[in-house]
Structure 1
């Protein structure tokens, strides 16, 4: 199996894409929480309110994941910037390995978030 070569410019580019995606998710969560607030004023049914609380908790958890992912990107960016300042052209294999692992985390989170959104939209269709 051929090893993937990751250059700092490419990692930086991917970081920028991820940062945009994470900012979008964060913004979406604000909208979703606004929807929950609207629903909370419409419903008194305990089952519906329990589902509202479930989604509220999920959104808080996902917001925490977003913060963690953003922090990790910033750490990677700092390391890349440090190499640029020092004029190091050598590929940092440890950073490249972490980048690939992080890419997998992002892909997993994309899947988890997409499923959460699908569930939430079904819930909204039912109770909005």
Structure 2
């Protein structure tokens, strides 16, 4: 028996991911603001190196978020094209790409969560 996966199912997951990425972008703004505050408070080279590390990490995360958003938009566009020709169920290759992207999101969640945990530890140490 063949299982059908419909656009609406994948669209729902895309919307969930988009909201999650929007939340991450908002958090990154807050984290960057904290970095700006700390830069004005410290002149110790060790602390400044750590601040630069986090600044670079946040820039990198912003780029990753943009890439993920673009991939979601491309997949949505592809699904829309299928819909235009009356195909509600996606072919195997598109579903495979979606599953691969889901794994990418899961990996990114772990990376981002680890970065946040590390940054909060740093803030605890230096935010006095």
Q: TM-score scaled to structure 1, two decimals?
A: 0.95
CA distance in 1, matches of 2:68, 2:88: 26
What displacement does 1:92 show?
1.5
Partners of 2:54 and 2:113 lie apart in 1 by: 14
Q: CA deviation at 1:5?
A: 4.8
Residue 60 of structure 1 deviates from its aligned partner by 0.4
Counterpart in the other structure of 1:71:
70
C-alpha distance in structure 2 between counterparts of 1:87 and 1:101, whole Å: 25
CA–CA separation in structure 2 for the residues paired with 1:8 and 1:110: 24
Alignment partner of 1:7 is 2:24: no
Partner of 1:103: 102
How far does residue 6 in structure 1 lie from its aligned partner after superposition? 2.8
Distance 1:13 1:90 in 2: 14
**Counterparts of 1:116 and 1:101 in 2: how far apart (Å)?**
23
Q: Which moved more, 1:25-34 or 1:85-94?
A: 85-94
Structure 1 residue ranges without an equivalent (≥5): none
Residues 1-128 of structure 1: pairs in structure 2 closer than 5 A? 5-128=4-127
Cα distance in structure 2, aligned partners of 1:90 and 1:47: 55
Question: Which consecutive unaligned segments of at least 5 residues does structure 2 have?
Answer: none
* Cα displacement (A) at 1:86: 1.1
| Alpha-carbon separation, structure 1, partners of 2:19 and 2:51 | 28
Deviations 1:59-91 (A, max 9, x none): 000100000000000000001111111111343
Q: Provide the secondary structure at the position in 2 that maps to 1:19.
A: helix
Runs of 4+ in 1 over 3 A off after TM superposition: none
Deviations 1:87-120 (A, max 9, x none): 1134321110000000000000000000000000
